[in-house]
Amino acid sequence: MKSYRKELWFNVPSRRAFINITPQVEACVRESGVKEGLVLVNAMHITASVFINDDEPGLHQDFERWLEKLAPHEPVSQYRHNDTGEDNADAHLKRQVMGREVVVAITNGKLDFGPWEQIFYGEFDGRRPKRVLVKIIGE
Amino acid sequence: MKSYRKELWFNVPSRRAFINITPQVEACVRESGVKEGLVLVNAMHITASVFINDDEPGLHQDFERWLEKLAPHEPVSQYRHNDTGEDNADAHLKRQVMGREVVVAITNGKLDFGPWEQIFYGEFDGRRPKRVLVKIIGE
Amino acid sequence: MKSYRKELWFNVPSRRAFINITPQVEACVRESGVKEGLVLVNAMHITASVFINDDEPGLHQDFERWLEKLAPHEPVSQYRHNDTGEDNADAHLKRQVMGREVVVAITNGKLDFGPWEQIFYGEFDGRRPKRVLVKIIGE
């Protein structure tokens, strides 16, 4: 069994953003030399997500508006977590809707994807360096 | 390490449905010959889900009504994704709540499940052929 | 390839609670002897979650209030699942928001975590014995 590990770093200038990280994950799969296996891609921070959906800017606006409706940032005083001096309680909630991680099959040395699947880093509390972990096991 | 791959195809006649796919996944596990390992089951389309919950029709009605409340289909004009000519933005959102994939342990050649766990395909934009990927690794 | 399996049991005296199970999962990783691999941690019951977020009591209050807003327990008659004699339909819905499982990388024999990641058991219908499965594969 082979294993491979890499950290991807992001420093998003805004509070929230969606970034397509499929090319970086594909590069990891190639570098790993794994032909058949699984790749785990997870946010290492608890106010960010890794998820799979469509690379379409209109949809990303819909996600942004929808997540703000489900778990609004303002007023920050509505959240007990923010009593600690933070203002990011909403980011912890949004990340639960979008998920922490994805597990993707590797087949014949490639991400085994349907026609529109793309991997995104979802940032909900940016403006500082944060990491995504890529871990691959297989043969 | 053994690996196994199979696509399951669905063509749901309605826009939305929940289909119990546990027997198909069990057949894959048997066919793979893997006794100890992991099985990844994921929707290959970004307007569908694979999730684990109860096989109880009343609960499936509750899911349907609840998802419509969280991310209503109508009016389709409320979503920027639908400006592209699609009418399925809500399906992309519903799939985030229900999830893309499940990872299930294989122990002694069987799905290592609690008493009520069943695997479902959640379709949110049907009326066309769509796929689920089953990938198994182990020994 | 090595594999390892353990069940963790919980009997939460209240209907809902969040319990940090990171130490138990760390003990499993040590016991497994796996240095490079993946650990799957999943609720074996469909009214409970395993998720990764912050060990901060204010945030847990926020989760509790937020999940009650998204999928209220009362009135129990609003859910068709409860026509079966159950009163836990909301617990099935809450568990979808929080997720069934996490997959965590094992690197150098340890959980490969970011600075604040902690694993929680999320109980949404307690007052009876329920289980979490820990399955490890790797080398």
- Asked if C19 is an interface residue toward chain A (Cβ–Cβ < 8 A), one would say no
Shortest Cα–Cα distance, A41 to chain B (Å): 13
Alpha-helical segments (H) within C13-110: 22-32, 57-70, 89-98
Residue B70: predicted pLDDT = 98
Residue C59: predicted pLDDT = 98
Coil/strand/helix, residue B27: helix
Instruction: Show me where the domains of chain A are located.
Output: 2-138
Residue B86: predicted pLDDT = 96
Mean pLDDT within B127-136:
98
CA C20/CA C48 separation, integer angstroms: 14
- Asked if B51 is an interface residue toward chain C (Cβ–Cβ < 8 A), one would say yes
Confidence (pTM): 0.98
Choose the CATH number for B2-138 among 3.40.50.80, 3.40.50.1110, 3.30.830.10, 2.60.120.460.
2.60.120.460
A-contacting residues in C 102-121 (Cβ below 8 Å): 102-105, 107, 112-117
- Asked if A60 is an interface residue toward chain C (Cβ–Cβ < 8 A), one would say no
Q: Do A52 and B71 touch (CB under 8 A)?
A: no
For residue C137, what is the nearest residue in chain B, using CA coordinates?
Answer: B37
* DSSP 8-state class, residue A46: T
Centre a 10 Å sphere on the Cβ of residue B91 and count the other Cβ atoms it contains.
25
- Kindly state the greatest CA–CA separation across chain C: 51
Average pLDDT over chain B, rounded to an integer: 98
Q: What is the ipTM of this complex?
A: 0.98
A28 close to A138: Cβ distance less than 8 angstroms: no
Over its length of 139 residues, how does chain A's per-residue pLDDT go in tens digits? 999 999 999 999 999 999 999 999 999 999 999 999 999 999 999 999 999 999 999 999 999 999 999 999 999 999 999 999 999 999 999 999 999 999 999 999 999 999 999 999 999 999 999 999 999 999 9
Q: Do C100 and B104 touch (CB under 8 A)?
A: no
Nearest to B101 among A59, A62, A103 (CB): A103
Residue A127: predicted pLDDT = 98
